[in-house]
Amino acid sequence: MNCRRNKSKCDRNHPCSRCIKSGLQASCVYEDSPPFIRDSPPNESGSLSSDGKDTVTVGKSILETLLRRVESVESNLRTSPVTSYRRSSLGSSPQSGFSRDRSLVFNLRRALNTNALGEFKSNRWRGMLWQFIMVFGDPSFNIMRDFSAHTDPLHFSFFSIYEDDLTLSEVPLDQLDDMSQKYFGQFHIRRLSPHPMPSDITDLMHQISIQKINPGICYSSTSTWRNHTFLDQIRELMPSYLHTREIVRLFFKWQLPGYQFCVPNIIYFGLERIFNIDNDLLRDKVTINSTSDVALIACVFIMIRMTTYSLTSPYNGASIPDLDAPSLGFLRTIRSSLELIELAEKLIHELEPKVDVNFQVFQAISLLFIYRLVSPEGDQFRESGDIGAYFSEIVFMSKALGFNEVQVCCQEANNIKESENVPDYYKQRTWMLLLMLDCFLTCFFGSTLTIRHDECDFSVTLQNGTYWSEQDDISQVLFKVMPLCRLAHGICEKVFQLSSLCPVSELIEDLNNLETLIFDTFGGITQFFEKTSSLGSRRRATYMNLAVLFLCFYSCLCYSLYVFFETNGNFDLSSFYNRKFLRTVFGTLGFVQKGLLVTCETFFGYASWSYFSPIMLVCNKLQLLAISVRIRFASTLRDHDSKYDNYAKKSIKEILSKLSHYEEQSVGFAAYFGQYQNNAWWNFKSFRFGQHVTTKLENSAQYLALCSKARVRFSSEEIQRWEEDIHEIDKQAEFYRSVFEAEQTNVALPRFSVLDIFHMDNYWYGVNCVRLYFKDAKFNSMFTESQPAGEKPSQFYYESDVFGEFPFV
């Protein structure tokens, strides 16, 4: 890049001040006191404290802290295998053109560093914001495609912002017509119908593989599809010149496959102000006044990407099933799209001036993190690194924003008990912790758990019409569990560092402290109802929700330690945490069942599906865990070594029988919900994947062979410990009463939408979970014999037989 001052190359990472002022591309770093922060009014400065001073990082603005973290994550952001767009015919380096790696951070910095109010007065700056919306919205608008399949240099002219001062706002529509015709050629980007058939999806995927393109929102003209090409859409919805605000306007009008993309008013009004949509006098300006505006744009951009990727990746990276098999992939994508949009919209509702703007920015980034978790496996997000790295980003951001200062929160709360902001104050900070627990559950079980309510939502501001008494109940409960949240926050930081940085002893100590604190806070699952009997129904339901959440979190930690020790060959400790996991899961299951019987009306009034989502997933994955437990016990039972006496074998048979009984309880619990769903999906293998695998194992001759190959068997001491734990579980027999007894209480249970959330997703992720587990090298070594010389070691011995039973795998 030529420096305008000395006509020589300028360091992109450390540009001279004149280059920064002149607007040349550079990934510059903010000054300690950037104009945007320094000159903005206190209420819009984005600072954490009321006096406008930065209280997060000494000498650094909160936005700079945010952008540094975004930059480290954004380098992995991909929507295509290409890392940059450039004039390929000139053979220039990626830095000479538009670099996807740096565009987001660079554009935000340029937008906020232009002047005091962040106004864009030239086409160059408008182009940058246009680029921000348009490029990262790809493939929503189908302008930029997979450039790896093309070499024509005209593609870069779409975004010749830095070298040629050319943006689409300066390209006449006729010229755009020629460019698009040359770019797309004879192919039209296809669009899925509202109700695609398996053959439609198969054909679409085939065309993608042949033509090297991604599916978009414009479909080729047929009798049943919209007869609009890409250019027709532009002509219909856009003026003769492509202005940034028209791009935003287009965003609100675009028809997505199957439904209209509805945007809440708060989003529209915010973007309307930022882009001056209806003010012709300011049509050349894009005004950003605060970090709230940045977060708003970021959320919109993420919503676009989540929606389009969900809709255009129908099978989530899995193979397309046979045409004769039921096709549920496209149903999943539509469903997940709606859920993600709903989540994004709820987060957007926090973007109001009265809410801490730092928290708004954090929400935008946390939403990006959620997208990373739920993005299709074929997306470059999944392939770019360990999910634990993304988790650590959220942990870092939460620390930077002060969410871990629980004592401060409590002290301030004592001084403002009568303030109307108390519930929001607690919810904002506790929501972050709940989100982290949610993210941990998501990472571990591979399925999306959103902690939300229809009426009592910890993650967003309570809906309109919510009374102060309801907010007070929630805030009081959250105040009580703050110490527990703080401990869980610290554990979340360590759990993904288990194999390297975090000593196992520390995590075990934290786990013991967590168990103690859960008991002290909620009274244990056997004393909970007695301890909370004097509370009001709403507060009691809130306590129950949090109790289930932390019990599930505790069971996740037990399971993670079990897998860790199992794969590292420490079978005594792995057995110990295996038993802890089973005991906690079955105990929690009974706890939830008891809650249905004792507080049935309250439970359904304030809980909805979110009360049951974590425990249902835990119970479902329980059967996956039981596969390895059964193999170990069956292998021990079939061991003819004299050291196992008849008493031990009798104990093993009893343990296996108990495990089977508990599994039936969890399956029956799920089936009970199915009665109120009247949904064909329930009869599929979504909740009972583990049970089906176990059934197939037990009914096949290969299962016996697999048991005989297992090299690790339970010792007599371990069998005795298992027997003792099973006995302890049996002491809680009252918690395992059939949920069908609820019908005998004459309590009318309303219909509720559990299955709207737990459909085939659980099945897909269950398959992936058990596959990864069985393919682990150390775990695999326990079940495979030594291969003959010269042959490649096989994977899990029984994998093909297990997964061969499932046509969707």
Please report, for the chain, the start and end positions of each structural domain, with discontinuous segments joined by +: 57-391, 403-803
- Is the Cβ–Cβ distance between 305 and 371 less than 8 Å? yes
Question: Residue 315: what pLDDT?
Answer: 32
| Ramachandran angles phi, psi of 54, nearest 5° | -80, 120
pLDDT at 217: 26
Write down the pLDDT at residue 689: 41
Q: Which amino acid is at 501?
A: L
Specify which residues 255 forms β-bridges with: 260
* Mean pLDDT of all residues in 160-180: 35
Tens of pLDDT, residue by residue over 1-26, are 445 444 444 554 445 555 544 443 33
- Token pair in block for residue 380: 């470059």
- Percent residues over pLDDT 70 in the chain: 12
What is the model's pLDDT at position 725? Answer: 79
3-state DSSP helix/strand/coil percent for the chain, to nearest 5? Answer: 60, 0, 35
- pLDDT, average across residues 478-504: 62
208: exposed, middle or buried (Cβ count in 10 Å: 0-12, 13-18, 19+): middle
Is residue 690 over pLDDT 50? no
The pLDDT tens digits of the residues spanning 439-478 come to 333 333 332 323 333 322 333 222 223 333 444 555 566 6
Selected residue with higher pLDDT from 374 and 250: 250
The pLDDT score that the predictor gives to residue 271 is 64
Q: To the nearest whole percent, how much of the chain has pLDDT over 90?
A: 0
With helix as H, strand as E and coil as C, how does 560-613 read? HHHHHHHHCCCHHHHHHHHHHHHHHHHHHHHHHHHHHHHCHHHHHHHCHHHHCH
Of 709, 710, 701, 713, nearest to 801 (Cα)? 701
pLDDT digits (tens, 9 = 90+) for 386-417: 333 333 333 443 343 333 333 333 333 334 33
Most confident of 233-237, 301-305, 419-423: 301-305
Q: Tell me: pLDDT of 481 over 80.
A: no
Residue 309 CA to residue 313 CA, distance in Å, equals: 6
pTM: 0.41
What local confidence, expressed as pLDDT, does residue 31 receive? 28
Contact 694, 627 (CB under 8 A): yes
